[in-house]
Amino acid sequence: MFTGTKASLLDRGVKHVVSVTAYPFLKVKASFKKASDYVLGFAVRYDAVRKENQVLGKEIIQLKQMLANRAELRQENMRLREALQFVRETPRLTLELVDVLENYKGLLRIDRGSLHGITPSMCLITKEGVVGVITEVSTFTAIAATLNHPECRVGAMVKRNRLRAYDGVVHAGGGDFSPYCRMDYIDMKEDVRVGDVVVTSPESIFPAGCPIGIVTATHEGGSLWKWAELAPMVDPSRLDEVFLIRHAEATLDELTGPPAVVPDMVHTGELPDERSMQERYAP
């Protein structure tokens, strides 16, 4: 007890035993601490990555929206440029560009109404050709029947030979919203070919010469008549803007009408008979 030798030996022995006995627990403690630190760090990093991912996701959505808006603006700009060019190329027409609000089964609703001076039978066109005719007007909007709707009938002729059908109109093809139109009561002897362009006639409420459609087929309707199937130049389901015709100056064809048929003069060497009908045929 006084020298402390045995006590030192005992103390070392106890420490040795304690250290040996505590080693596994210390290892477990150290491992647990490392694991808890790793889990805690992983959770912190995961939360940071998740928040960063959310921020990046929002930025990607915003960039996609910006790209979509940019593409839409580019397309709109192109359409407006083409519209302006069309207005410049047709100075005889007073045109107003209007927006299409609704499109349903061959009917279009535009953003103009009686408040803007719209009346029934006013015409709608695009640079490609005929769209339709105003049929109903309210205060702020109006409804137009397109060539795919039975209420739209347009005076027409074949551009190549100025052929008019018996009733002189192109109308909807019939059936359940057929994308084709038809030109009825064409004389069987008349020359109508697949690929012929059909345009508005001088008798139409449209300005003469506006493209309507292309003949895709001809069908016999009986012993005297045949009819032509037309693919319209304009697909109304794809329109965002159309031109409203406010005023149209008459063309030379509309003012003078079809050219008069002058019979060929046959030279016989004789002077013309200037006697009256009574003098020539009276007994």
pLDDT digits (tens, 9 = 90+) for 156-185: 999 999 998 888 899 988 765 678 899 999
Residues 129-145: what's their mean pLDDT?
95
Average the pLDDT over 126-134 and give the result. Answer: 94
> What value does the mean pLDDT of the chain take?
80
pLDDT above 60 (res 75): yes
User: In angstroms, rounded to a whole number, what is the distance separating the alpha carbons of residues 208 and 123?
Assistant: 12
Higher-pLDDT residue of 143, 48:
143
Least confident of 79-88, 137-146, 151-160: 79-88
Between CA 26 and CA 6 the distance in angstroms is 29
Give per-residue pLDDT as tens, 213-271. Answer: 999 999 987 778 999 999 999 999 889 999 999 998 876 665 555 554 444 443 444 44
The C-alpha atoms of residue 166 and residue 181 are separated, in whole angstroms, by 16
CB 141 within 8 A of CB 127: no
In this structure, of 32-41, 83-92, 110-119, 201-210, the range with the lowest mean pLDDT score is 32-41
pLDDT of residue 268: 41
Q: Are 219 and 229 in contact (CB under 8 A)?
A: yes
Q: Kindly write down the DSSP assignment for every residue of the chain, as one continuous string.
A: --S-HHHHHHHHHHHHHHHHHHHHHHHHHHHHHHHHHHHHHHHHHHHHHHHHHHHHHHHHHHHHHHHHHHHHHHHHHHHHHHHHHHHHH-TTEEEEEEEEEEEETTEEEES--GGGT--TT-EEE-SSSEEEEEEEE-SS-EEEEETTSTT-EEEEEETTTTB--SS-EEEE--TTT-S-EEEEEEETTS---TT-EEEE-TTSSSPTT-EEEEEEEEEE-SSSEEEEEEEES--GGG-SEEEEEEEEPPPHHHHH-SPPP-PPPPP-SSPP--S-HHHHH--
What average pLDDT does range 12-21 have in this prediction? 67
Is the pTM for the entire model greater than 0.95?
A: no
Of 78, 83, 175, which Cα lies nearest the Cα of 127? 83
Distance CA 79, CA 155 (A): 28
Highest mean pLDDT among 25-29, 35-39, 112-116: 112-116
- 281 pLDDT higher than 60: no
Kindly state the tokens that stand for 162: 């100025």
pLDDT tier at 282 (50, 70, 90 boundaries)?
A: very low
Render pLDDT for 43-70 as a digit per residue (tens, 0 to 9): 677 778 788 888 888 888 888 888 777 7
pLDDT of residue 23: 66
